[in-house]
Each structure stands twice: as C-alpha cells, then as structure tokens.
Amino acid sequence: MQQQYATPSDLTVDDKATTVDAILRYRAERPTMPLFKRRSNGQWITVTAKHFTDEVDAVAKGLIASGVEPGDRVAILSSTRYEWTVLDYAIWRAGATTVAIYETSAPDQVQWILEDSATKLLFVENHPQYTRHIRVIDEAPALGETLVIDDHALATITKRGAKLGDEELDNRHANALSSDAATLIYTSGTTGRPKGVVLTHANFIAECAATRDAVGAGLAEGKSTLLFLPLAHVFARVVAVGCVENGVILGHTNDIPNLIDDLGTFKPNYVLSVPRVFEKVYNSAKQKAYDGGKGKIFDKAADTAIEYSKAMEAGSIGLGLKLRHALFDRLVYGKLRAALGGNCEGAISGGAPLGARLGHFFRGVGIPVYEGYGLSETTAAVTANNEDHQRVGSVGRPVPGVTVAISDDGEVLLKGPVVFGGYWQNAEATADSIKDGWFHTGDIGKLEDGFLYITGRKKELIVTAGGKNVSPAQLEDTIRAHPMISQCLVVGDNKPFIGALITIDPEAVPGWLERHNLPADTPISDLVDNADLRAEIDTAVKDANAKVSNAEAIKKFTILDTDFTIESGELTPTMKLKRNVIHDAYKTAIADLYS
C-alpha cells in the first residue's frame, strides 16, 4: 500500500436492526413528526410519520396477502415519486428485498434483472412502461404478477391485505436481521452485463449514520431536500433512507424539465445531485446572461466567485475582492440562489467528478457544493467534504468507519461497514472485486492530508501509440463547461494523438442562433461546420489543453449532429459516458479524426 487513511467510528449495528425500525419508532413516539412533503394540486402537503408508516403497513399486508415471503424479491421500475419510497419500506416491512430498476432501462436489461434476481412481484410506473416491457414481463420465469402504479396499484394491494392483522407484520419484523438483503441494485455499468449489488439493512444503517456525522447540517432534523435523482441509483436511495433515519423532510419530483420551478416552490435547505445538474444550472445561467446581452457581466461575476472561493481556502480575502464580490452578489449571485428556492444552504454532489471549477464557482456564489465519493458497492458515500473540512477538487475525507487506501498501482481500495459483501449469485465477480478484505474500486486516486482525490478510472485510461497514459475525465469536464456543449468523449487509445467527439446542447441552440442572426429552425446538422461555432468550441478545447501536457492535449475534434443520451444507450442513468457503446456507434467519426 502506498497510503492509507481511516476515520474512526464507535457505531455498532445491532443484529436485529433494520431500516424499518426508525418509522415504527416515530409512529410510536412522535406520530405528528413531518417526514415528507407530497405534491398535490400544485401544493406541497406535509405527510406525518404516522400517516407514512400506516401506509407502509397497509401495503406490506397486501404484499403478504399476494404471497410475498421473507427474502423474496419485489421489483420497482419507476421514476422518482413518493410511491417508490412507500413501496420500498413496505417491501422491507414484509421482510422481502427490493430490486431497483431504472425507468430508462432497455427491455433486454429488464429481462436480465428479472431473471437474475428471480423477482416474484413487479411494480411498473405506467402503462407505456408496461407495454414497452410486456414481452420480458411475460417471459420472466419467477414473476407471478405485475401491477401498474398509475393504475392504483397501491390501493389495489392495500385492499388485498385489508383483512390481515398486525401479527404477521410484527412476526416478520421480529425475525428480521440486519444482515438480511435490503436491496439488489444492478450496476448500470459502462461496460458488460449488470451485476446485482447486494446491500443489507446494516449497510444502509451504517451509511446513514456515517453520512450524518460527516455531512452535519445537511442531514439535521427538520431540514428539507427535494429528491429528483432516479431512486434506482444508490445515491438517491441513500438520500431517501438517510432523510427518514435523520428526520429530514423529503419531497420527490420526476419533472426534470421543470426542476427549477419545483425547487422554487419546495424551497429546499439542501440540494443533493449529480454534477451534470450543477453544470446545467451554471450553463443555463450563463446562456441566459449572454442571450440578454449581459455575458461579460456574468463572466466577470463567475471569475470573481472562483477567485473568492480560492481566497477563502487560502484564508485571506483582500478588500478589493470583497467589494467586487458584494457587487456581483447583488447583480448575479442572489438570482442564482433564488433559482434554487432561496433557502439553499448548500449542496452535496456525488455519482461522478464535479471538478474544481464548478466547486469554486458555487462556493463563491454562496452555495457550497460538498463533493463526496462512493459506489453502489459502498452504499453510496465513503468520503465527503463538509462545512468544517472542505478542499475543492477533492472528494473529501473518509466518512466514520471507513478506511481508504491507495494500492501500489494507484487504485483506490476501501474497507468499512458500508462496503457490500458481494454480488448476487456471482462468486467470480465478488472474488475479483474483494481481495484480502479490501474492495477494489477500479478508480485511480491519491490521498493528501486524508482528503481523497480521484484522478481517473483504471479502465478509462487511454494509452496513446507513443505510450502516454491519459485520463480523459479532466479534459472532458473542462470542455463540458462551455454552455453550447452537452457532452464530450476523449479518444486516442493506441492512436498517435488525442482527439475528441463533442455534442451540442439542444437547449442552448435557440439563443445562439438568435445572437448570430441565423434562422430559428436551423438544424444542428447545419451548424457542425459553422465557422463561428467551431471557433467557440475550439476555445473550450484550448482551455482544456491548457491544463494538461502537450502529449495529453486534444489535437483534433469533431462536432456531432446528435447528442449522447440515456435513451440512445450512450449514457448511464447518472449521465456517465458508456465509452464502448459510443466507440461502436461513432467508429467512422473516430476513424476520420485519424485519417
């Protein structure tokens, strides 16, 4: 081992503890405690601990009446909504295991998950989803029934269990163990067939306690957050369970196009998200400023915010910088804070690298984004920045109970109670990832004063024909900062130089066309060779190249006329590039870079 750092913890998870304990305790001791806010007729209505727990019990009885036995797998294929969390807790209350499926999954992926998990009962969100997957639903060998959430599935199943008393629920709870499988989360994976990550109740309880201690104010009782990430992803799931465990009021929304409006009405204290959402907030604000003829003001405000954040870190903010910051706070920063509801004290970012640029920008405008790091296999966060310990650009220090080590080849290794025990019915994959008690993440990193920095992924390293190792993430992150750019894929494995495929953000096109006096209906395909656009993209590429050596710099790029999307299978549900899929789909465009 090159380096090692641990954060101690005195937490012990009782053998009989489960995620259900918290809601049962709230109902008995604090029935009127607010746990959720649920949207109804455009208003956010408070849901108390008693109301939620009663609902969970009623659905759990319905699951039991439907033949669900302890240990059985029940799957949820749905976007983020209140019913997802009700079903999740009801499945646990019945002693069963939740199988989480992304609503964006392709039928082949759903087929594999249903078969591999031997799911007994499936909840799908709506009829279009049911229709899309009807073939694989019909063919799933263990699946006995499918219910549609929008077709009153919860009411149907509640009615089914109406005659059951509490005895069976209490019996199942009495026999539950913290080592029982709470969920199977299938790795969305940028390569290969998804593997079922088995997370236990003990994993969840340890994670919720560790992140509460690590994050502090963000998970304090009575605070609130609006969840919009897919609940099939471990980060969103831990947010949901962590809010319940710690008494944080949780709202759900799946209306991503109107997310800013929802944040404005919900007024969360904290925003928890993946970096792409923070990028979009920054880019859309910048684009709006340019469209309104205030681009230069925004750029100066952004530079000042970044400079201010760096000065905060250095511990010395000059008077001139303070005055400039105060001016831009009135002109720009206040509007950004208002767009997030006006009550936002901070944000937590995970799922992918945020990048120092965005970290400094948001801290400089008064919304510190505390970056963390984790995987499905670690029940989300294993490291996190917080108010007391933050280094922008790092992913923070280990959360309590976790040990981080760096192997001789630079790989990040992990130990702790939040780390999973293995993949579902896949001993070979488990043996490949857990060796000598250490979980091998596949990420490359370094430790400085206990802060972890992720510098790349083992499988993503590009080795040029000249033998230079290039990590694409830093280049891609910098290029994506340009408001016209949606995605960037850096290429060059076994090639003479580094190249890039760049896609245009369709939301930014109308304003750009207007500024350049071009017809509003001009398609993106007509812009890929536009000299003005290429000049702008070239500037973004040069900005990225300025941060790396000449051997790592992008020498040529191509602008594509289509974007990479989740629906096309080129992005994972957390907006990570599926590099092998994109390489296959655009092999001609890549070859043209080197012809």
pLDDT range class, residue 551, cuts 50, 70, 90: confident
Beta-sheet strands, E only, within 49-112: 73-77, 97-101
The token pair at 137 is 């639903």
Hey, what amino acid is at 457?
Answer: R
Cross-strand partners of 249? 224
Arithmetic mean of pLDDT, 20-46? 96
Selection from 427, 426, 348 nearest residue 381 by Cα: 348
Q: Is the pLDDT score of 191 beyond 60?
A: no
Over residues 422-437, the pLDDT tens digits come to: 999 999 999 999 999 9
Q: What is the 3-state secondary structure (H, E, C) of 435-456?
A: ECCEEEEEEEEEEECCEEEEEE
Q: Which residues contact 195 (CB under 8 A, 6 or more apart)?
A: 186, 187, 189, 423, 424, 426, 429
Q: Is the pLDDT score of 281 beyond 90?
A: no
Q: Is the pLDDT score of 460 beyond 60?
A: yes
Q: Is the pLDDT score of 485 beyond 60?
A: yes
Hey, what amino acid is at 45?
Answer: I
pTM of the model: 0.85
Residue 78 near residue 84 (C-beta atoms within 8 A): yes
Predicted local confidence at residue 158, as pLDDT: 98
316 class by beta-carbon count within 10 Å (0-12 exposed, 13-18 middle, 19+ buried):
exposed
Over residues 118-131, the pLDDT tens digits come to: 999 999 999 999 99
Percent of the chain at pLDDT > 70 equals 99
Cross-strand partners of 372? 384
Arithmetic mean of pLDDT, 296-305? 96
Hey, what amino acid is at 74?
Answer: V
Over residues 148-185, the pLDDT tens digits come to: 999 999 999 999 999 999 999 999 999 999 999 999 99
**Dihedral sign of CA atoms 431, 436, 437, 441 in order:** negative
**Where do the H-state alpha helices sit in 185-329?**
201-215, 234-246, 259-266, 275-291, 295-314, 319-328
Predicted local confidence at residue 189, as pLDDT: 54
Which domains are seen in the chain, by residue range? 19-176+224-256 (3.40.50.12780), 273-458 (3.40.50.12780), 461-593 (3.30.300.30)
Arithmetic mean of pLDDT, 211-215? 86
Over residues 378-413, the pLDDT tens digits come to: 999 999 999 889 999 899 999 999 999 999 989 999
Hey, what amino acid is at 411?
Answer: E
Over residues 334-356, the pLDDT tens digits come to: 988 888 888 999 999 987 778 78
**Where do the H-state alpha helices sit in 153-268?**
153-160, 167-175, 201-215, 234-246, 259-266
Please give the mean pLDDT across all residues of the chain: 93
Instruction: Specify the 3-state DSSP secondary structure of 5.
Output: strand
